[in-house]
């Protein structure tokens, strides 16, 4: 299989590989997220550096109102940010990107970029 633009990790152990997103809440691609106060939760494959993240806009006007700044849970793998979602809106974040790489594991390796997109439902539902 061709690797394209990605580094070749053949023969390397898990600890030397970059972290990846393994779970998000809301789930990527969700179309029925409740509007209002909520948390966005992103879990990585490894322990991450505290106080370091890159929540980048995927497009103009695509991020919710921030209620509290991001923080890691005690597992050091799950980053949580408290937000307020508007009804009937598309949201999108790059968790790391070509230009922003502050989601890093405990050894300083940047996480593989991940596009998180989802949509809130109508507030009247």
Q: Is the pLDDT of residue 115 over 80?
A: yes
Query: pLDDT for 61-112, tens place per residue?
Result: 999 999 999 999 999 999 999 999 999 999 999 999 999 999 999 999 999 9
Q: Is the pLDDT of residue 51 over 50?
A: yes
- Predicted confidence at residue 7, as pLDDT, reads 58
Give the pLDDT mean for 18-35. 97
> Is 8 in contact with 102 (CB distance < 8 Å)?
no
Q: Is the pLDDT of residue 125 over 70?
A: no
Strand order through the sheet with 21-25: 21-25, 36-44, 78-85, 65-72
Query: What are the residue ranges spanned by the domains of the chain?
Result: 27-119
Q: What is the CATH T-level fold of the domain 27-119, as seen in this structure?
A: Immunoglobulin-like (2.60.40)
Q: Is the pLDDT of residue 2 over 50?
A: no
Q: C-alpha dihedral over 54, 109, 74, 58, to 10 degrees?
A: 20
Whole-angstrom Cα distance, residue 69 to residue 27? 20
Whole-angstrom Cα distance, residue 65 to residue 20? 26
Mean pLDDT of the chain: 91
């Amino acid at each position: 299989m061709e690797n394209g633009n990605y580094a070749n990790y053949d023969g390397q152990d898990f600890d030397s590989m970059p972290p990846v997103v393994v779970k998000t809440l809301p789930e990527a691609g969700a179309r029925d997220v409740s509007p209002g106060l909520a948390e966005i939760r992103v879990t990585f494959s490894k322990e991450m550096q505290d106080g370091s993240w890159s929540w980048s806009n995927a497009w103009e006007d695509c991020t919710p109102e921030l209620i509290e700044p991001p923080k890691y849970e005690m597992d050091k793998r799950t980053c949580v940010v408290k937000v307020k979602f508007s009804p009937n809106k598309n949201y999108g974040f790059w968790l790391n990107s070509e230009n922003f790489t502050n989601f890093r594991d405990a050894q300083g390796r940047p996480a593989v970029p991940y596009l998180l997109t989802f949509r809130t439902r109508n507030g009247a539902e």
